[in-house]
Amino acid sequence: MLVKRIIPCLDVKEGKVVKGIHFENLKDVGDPVELAKRYEEEGADELVFLDITASYEKRETMVKIAEKVAQNIYMPFTVGGGISTHEHVSNLLKAGADKVSINTAAVLNPDLISQLAEKFGSQCVVVAIDVKKTWDRITRRSYWEVYINGGRTPTGKDAIAWASQVESLGAGEILLTSMDTDGTQNGYDLFLTRKIVDGVKIPVIASGGAGKLEHLLTVFREGGADAALVASIFHYKNFTIQEAKAFLKKRGIPVRIEEP
């Protein structure tokens, strides 16, 4: 059985790690390099850095920060935010990133997924899907709508159909964020996560809502996620990654724990 991954998420704005609720009311929580070093020491499996305003501000994401992170840690990390060209991906990978995460550019130009997968390999192409529950007045039904530009712009796309499409285009992994639960610390959207997981064969990273260790347990058991993206409870030191993994292992979830 494949181990489940615990992945701290570092949302970056103006060179600082920030955290908000529903993608708003951002608060400064630290330096990206120092946090990366701390999480490696605690036993994180990977890291994700997201430049959360890059797409909205129409600028490229943080190559210099990626370089500094790569100089200070050994574990794999992903960088996302504002990525829209082959050159930009190449620069981030050369800087030391192991994967790139694309969202806005993928929605606007789905062929970019295939192009990046062909040039750099599917294993380093993560498609981030930011989702909010929406009511369609025409069909008179609710659905999970894909948002872009850091959660600012609705697209009308159905998240479940989009997840299936990005898999067919060559994405190696999906980073699924529920905007409804993001930052609330009330738990992941388990129903949404399970719907996406059941609809694709590639790994799904669940994001948005972890507030206690039981939430990690349920997103693996009930949501079926391959990895859990976590921010608040680690940033604010509610729990350490070692504590989270020990909790999960005791309850039968396969996780990687390094022996001292």
- Known catalytic residues are 11, 130
Q: What element of type H or E holds 9?
A: strand 5-13
Give the integer Cα–Cα distance in Å for 55 and 200. Answer: 26
Half-sphere exposure of 189 (CA within 13 A, CB side): 20
Cα–Cα separations (whole angstroms), residue 10 to 18, 88, 105, 121: 7, 20, 20, 24
Give the integer Cα–Cα distance in Å for 85 and 60. Answer: 9
Residues contacting residue 119 through CB under 8 Å, at least 6 positions apart: 86, 89
- One-letter amino acid for residue 212 of the chain: K
E strand map for 137-172: 141-148, 153-158
Residues contacting residue 14 through CB under 8 Å, at least 6 positions apart: none
The residue assigned the tokens 């712009």 is 153
**In angstroms, how far is the first alpha carbon of the chain from the final one?**
23
Give the integer Cα–Cα distance in Å for 227 and 245. Answer: 12
Residues contacting residue 192 through CB under 8 Å, at least 6 positions apart: 131, 144, 159, 176, 178
Give the integer Cα–Cα distance in Å for 114 and 219. Answer: 29
